[in-house]
Amino acid sequence: MAPAVPLALLALVALLAPGLVVAFPGCDYPAHLWCSSPEIAVACQAENRCANLSRPAAAPVELSLFYESLCPACRTFLAQQLFTTWLLLPSQVLNITLVPYGNAEERNVSGKWDFQCQHGPEECLGNMIEACLMHEAKDFSAYFPVIFCLESGSSVTKNLEACLQVYAPQLDKDRVTACVQGDLGATLMHRNAELTEGLHPPHQYVPWLVING
């Protein structure tokens, strides 16, 4: 009776001579087809040899940016680093959440939220414009280029119409303006205040990044 041949040796022979069929239990395929699908690779015990097999995609990186609209370091980071990184990476790799508030403070005055911002009232307005823009656009790929345009341009608070025309002409400037001027804008900023104040550990400066929680 012929001596038994180890499975590893059979596999090696099959890889060197792809025309041969190796009788692995459950494997009825010639070696040149072992890597044609994950199911065949498993049946033929060839998973480790099939570098071209598709593997489950890794979960995207969750990145949250806590920032202020007129903070110089925030503007530089958003426009020169985060936006360009987002452009270069596949859409399924990175999920970005933008929270414009930063070192602002809020108080309730007669039932309405009032905000004080590090760089003055114009920054509060810029924060609210961007919060309302995100609310109206919904889709990150629609509003992020507009925010990039605002943050990289000459004025965060005066260039909304021009940035919309270039990057998101489908969005309605009047709806964003109504949000800023109405109660919705203050509600959105209050939510951003809660998100910022709920950071653990608390933020120490801006821009402040949180990655995967």
Range of the domain at 119: 61-211
**pTM reported for the whole predicted model:** 0.75
Q: Using CA atoms in the order 9, 12, 18, 22, what is the torsion angle rounded to 10 degrees?
A: 30
Asked if the structure places residue 38 within a domain, the reply is no
| Dist. CA 116–CA 149, nearest whole Å | 24
Q: What is the pLDDT of residue 4?
A: 46
Asked whether residue 19 carries a pLDDT value surpassing 50, the answer given is no
Beta strand pairing status for 105-109 and 208-211?
A: unpaired
Give per-residue pLDDT as tens, 111-162: 999 999 999 999 999 999 999 999 999 999 999 999 999 999 999 999 999 9
Q: CATH number for the domain including 70?
A: 3.40.30.10
Q: Confirm whether 46 is domain-assigned.
A: no
**Range with the lowest mean pLDDT among 8-17, 37-46, 181-190, 197-206?**
8-17
Q: Give the alpha-carbon dihedral of 41, 44, 50, 52, to 10 degrees.
A: -30
The 3-state DSSP composition of the chain as helix, strand, coil percent (nearest 5) reads 45, 15, 40
Name the strands in the sheet holding 61-67, side by side, starting at the edge strand that comes first in the sequence. Answer: 94-100, 61-67, 208-211
Residue 2 has pLDDT above 80, yes or no: no
Of the chain, the percentage scoring pLDDT greater than 90 comes to 71
Please say whether the beta carbons of 45 and 11 come within 8 A: yes
Q: Is residue 49 in some structural domain?
A: no
Whether residue 26 lies inside any domain: the answer is no
Confidence of residue 177 (pLDDT cuts 50, 70, 90): very high
Most confident of 5-9, 12-16, 63-67: 63-67
Q: How far is residue 213's CA from residue 199's CA, in Å, rounded to a whole number? A: 10
| DSSP assignment string, 112-164 | EEEEE-TT-HHHHHHHHHHHHHHHHH--HHHHHHHHHHHHHSS-TTT-HHHHH
- The overall average pLDDT reported for the chain is 88
Does a structural domain hold residue 155? yes
Does 67 map to a domain? yes
197 backbone dihedrals φ, ψ, rounded to 5° = -70, -15
Query: Within a domain: residue 13?
Result: no
Q: Is 161 inside a domain boundary? A: yes
Structural domains in the chain (count): 1
Alpha carbons 22 and 27: distance in angstroms, whole number: 8
Q: Of 179, 151, 189, which is closest to residue 69 (Cα–Cα)?
A: 151
The Cα 42–Cα 133 span in angstroms is 49
